[in-house]
Amino acid sequence: MSTVILLTLTGLGLAALYFLVASGLSLVFGLADVLNFAHGLFLGVGAYATWWAAGNLPGAGSDGLGFLVAVAFGVLAGSAVAVLVELVLIRPLYSRTIEQVLVTVGLSLAGVALLQATWGADARPFPRPEWTRDVTSVLGAQVPNAGLLLIVAAAVVLGALLAFLRFTRYGLIIRAGVENREMVTALGIDVRKAFTLVFAIGGAAAALAGALGSVYFGTVSPGQGGSLLIFAFIVVVIGGMGSVVGSAYAAVAVGLLQQFVNYYGTSGLGDLCVVGLLAVVLLLRPQGLAGKVAHA
């Protein structure tokens, strides 16, 4: 029983990580039709900026309030880079899908190379609060606190995103834009501002995933954004482009499936099953679990 609980909670921790990356990716694709392969870079920037801040930024540190400051710095850095990428590289290329893919793939590769050139290719130990190294007993299962932290963070981000989409003017514009971007402009709204905003939000969420993911794994490395991005894309497709709630459901399904199959089957079989789940969803429900609607 305790094994099932442990697998469920670690699976949910993994799901939380996928959701943090996928939610922004999904909104960006749903609203702006941009398949952003550079999204993993925002995660890397968030992780490295947090790591750097913990050691160098006045007021920041690896524990207590200092760690919160370091994470906040990382999130801001990821968000700022996302906004810069949207304004400088993506904006001139809206509706030019092939060029967008080429630019974002190129940027992703260049970003990883830049991180490697600056801080080396090897994984580095990540400064993290002592309590995140401990475990908490949940119904007999010893669950890593870092995993629980990811779950709580993802739940808070999900709630905040839903509240933003439901109760704010820009949330309304984003929900409408996901359905019919052209009609939003035909109502006199400059939808490009909403594009920048979803990049900022997506970048912030990915950067948070980078920081908390590094807490979970205990290390930070230049390539970790890329490997998480693959599963985030799968989550976005299964959940439905543009749907935050769909991404949440899909992340949970993917995280749990991966964790249980990897444990009870052969290591690596879980990843294969996730691809199988993707194929089944595409065959039976090509629009994903929630379709192309940004549900609030």
Is 147 or 240 the residue whose CB approaches other proteins more closely?
240
User: Phi and psi (nearest 5°) for 220?
Assistant: -130, 135
Binding range to other proteins, per CB under 8 A, among 3-11, 109-117, 126-134, 180-188: 180-188
**Which residue among 75, 85, 184, 244 contacts other proteins (CB under 8 A)?**
184
**Which residue among 173, 208, 229, 236 contacts other proteins (CB under 8 A)?**
173
Is 186 or 283 the residue whose CB approaches other proteins more closely?
186
Is 148 or 165 the residue whose CB approaches other proteins more closely?
165
Cβ-Cβ contacts under 8 Å for 133 (sequence gap 6 or more): 145, 146, 218
We find the least distance from the C-beta atom of residue 291 to other proteins, in angstroms, to be: 9
Site string for other proteins, 76-95 (x = CB under 8 A): -------------------x
Is 95 or 266 the residue whose CB approaches other proteins more closely?
95
We find the least distance from the C-beta atom of residue 176 to other proteins, in angstroms, to be: 5
**3-state secondary structure string across 59-127:** CCCCCHHHHHHHHHHHHHHHHHHHHHHHHHHHHHHCCCHHHHHHHHHHHHHHHHHHHHHHHCCCCEECC
Is 118 or 185 the residue whose CB approaches other proteins more closely?
185
What residues between 186 and 215 interact with other proteins by CB under 8 A? 186-191
Q: Is 183 in the site for other proteins (CB under 8 A)?
A: yes
CA nearest neighbour of 94 among 179, 25, 35, 27: 35
Q: Is 175 in the site for other proteins (CB under 8 A)?
A: yes
- Across-strand partners of 141? 138
| Conformational region of residue 221, where left means phi above 0, alpha means psi within -120 to 50, and beta covers everything else | beta
Tokens of residue 263, six digits: 């444990």
**Which residue among 1, 88, 182, 283 contacts other proteins (CB under 8 A)?**
182
Binding range to other proteins, per CB under 8 A, among 35-43, 78-86, 171-179, 271-279: 171-179
Q: Is 97 in the site for other proteins (CB under 8 A)?
A: no
Q: Whole-angstrom Cα distance, residue 136 to residue 117?
A: 38
Binding site for other proteins (CB under 8 A): 95-96, 172-173, 175-176, 179-180, 182-191, 293-295
